[in-house]
């Protein structure tokens, strides 16, 4: 038989008076033990009928939303303007420091939402279109980077022809990515690919993204944690480590010597190394 809350409160009190502990009462009634504790405390303070009456009154009608003092709202707005559009956590810090009051971060954002158009710092499930495939060369070029300590290898592969390019850089910035983009597209991919696909790393944003449209119709960013979307370049990166530079950490003063190794490897890769994906042919014919 189903019991309403008031009946459960009365039964919980009777079980408590019988010496049964709150955990057992909780299990018997299917109510969280902390709620049982609140009920017992309330009955002790107001009596059984008095607490049940208060419980009934508390459930009547919609709850009135807690209001915040207009002066505190003004302080929140003033701090946000003064601190260059700072976040709610920093506003909470300044309120406590300057005014000696504590306001929950959730309430601060609620107040800010009344005046400002707040935007999320991240986007969930952004649609990026289907994973591109290629039926001929220069349709899709995937790009990525490999960390070699103080040196970073920017890599690229045409997913149809399997042609690749590698450039070593001393840093991992969007300007390095921009430099690699121009160099690679000009010397290896005939200045154009319908789609250039990268991950969401900072080296493929800002200047890189801005210039990507000079060499492609679209710059597609692969979804995070979806390694299969970058499978071709990930496969090449493994081959490059295994067959060329390994897993060693290098210093920036070694770039000149390593560039010689990389160029030698690229010649071998394009003209001598057979590829299963090309029916044991090489990407480029001699």
Percent of the chain with pLDDT over 70: 92
**Per-residue confidence at 220, pLDDT binned at 50, 70, 90?**
very high
Rounded to the nearest 10 degrees, the angle between the axes of helix 33-46 and helix 22-29 is 110
**Structure confidence by residue, pLDDT tens digits, 221-244:** 998 877 789 999 999 999 999 999
**Cα separation, 34 vs 67, whole angstroms:** 28
**Structure confidence by residue, pLDDT tens digits, 2-24:** 578 888 899 999 999 999 998 89
Select, from the ranges 35-39, 94-98, 142-146, the one with the highest average predicted confidence (pLDDT).
Answer: 142-146
Question: For the chain, how far is it from start to end, CA to CA, in angstroms?
Answer: 86
Do 171 and 195 touch, CB atoms closer than 8 A? Answer: no
What pLDDT, on a 0 to 100 scale, did the predictor assign at position 1?
45
Asked whether residue 50 carries a pLDDT value surpassing 80, the answer given is yes
What pLDDT, on a 0 to 100 scale, did the predictor assign at position 5?
85
What pLDDT, on a 0 to 100 scale, did the predictor assign at position 119?
65
* pLDDT higher at 57 or 261: 261
Asked whether residue 150 carries a pLDDT value surpassing 90, the answer given is yes
**pTM > 0.85:** no
Q: Which two tokens stand for residue 141?
A: 């070029």
**Cα separation, 88 vs 80, whole angstroms:** 9
What pLDDT, on a 0 to 100 scale, did the predictor assign at position 124?
57
**Per-residue confidence at 275, pLDDT binned at 50, 70, 90?**
confident
What pLDDT, on a 0 to 100 scale, did the predictor assign at position 120?
57
Average pLDDT, the chain: 88
Q: What is the mean pLDDT of residues 113-141?
A: 76
């Amino acid at each position: 038989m189903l019991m309403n809350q008031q009946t459960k409160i009365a039964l919980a009190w009777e079980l408590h008076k019988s010496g049964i502990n709150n955990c057992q009462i909780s299990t018997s009634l299917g109510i969280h033990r902390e709620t049982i504790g609140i009920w017992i405390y309330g009955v002790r303070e107001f009596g059984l009928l008095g607490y049940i009456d208060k419980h009934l009154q508390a459930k009547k009608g919609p709850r009135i939303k807690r209001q915040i003092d207009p002066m505190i709202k003004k302080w929140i707005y003033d701090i946000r303007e003064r601190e260059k559009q700072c976040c709610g956590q920093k506003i909470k810090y300044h309120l406590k420091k300057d005014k000696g009051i504590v306001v929950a971060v959730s309430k601060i954002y609620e107040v800010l939402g009344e005046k400002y158009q707040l935007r999320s710092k991240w986007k969930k499930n952004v649609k990026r279109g289907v994973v591109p495939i290629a039926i001929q060369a220069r349709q899709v070029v995937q790009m990525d980077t490999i960390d070699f300590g103080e040196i970073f290898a920017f890599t690229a592969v045409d997913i149809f022809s399997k042609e690749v390019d590698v450039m070593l850089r001393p840093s991992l910035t969007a300007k390095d990515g921009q430099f690699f983009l121009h160099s690679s597209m000009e010397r290896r991919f005939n200045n154009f690919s319908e789609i250039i696909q990268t991950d969401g790393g900072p080296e493929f944003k800002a200047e890189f993204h801005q210039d990507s449209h000079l060499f492609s119709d679209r710059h597609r960013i692969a979804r995070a944690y979806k390694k299969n979307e970058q499978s071709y370049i990930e496969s090449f990166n493994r081959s490059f480590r295994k067959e060329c530079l390994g897993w060693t950490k290098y210093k920036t003063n070694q770039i000149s010597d390593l560039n010689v190794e990389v160029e030698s490897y690229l010649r071998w890769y394009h003209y001598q190394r057979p590829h299963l994906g090309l029916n044991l042919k090489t990407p480029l014919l001699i």
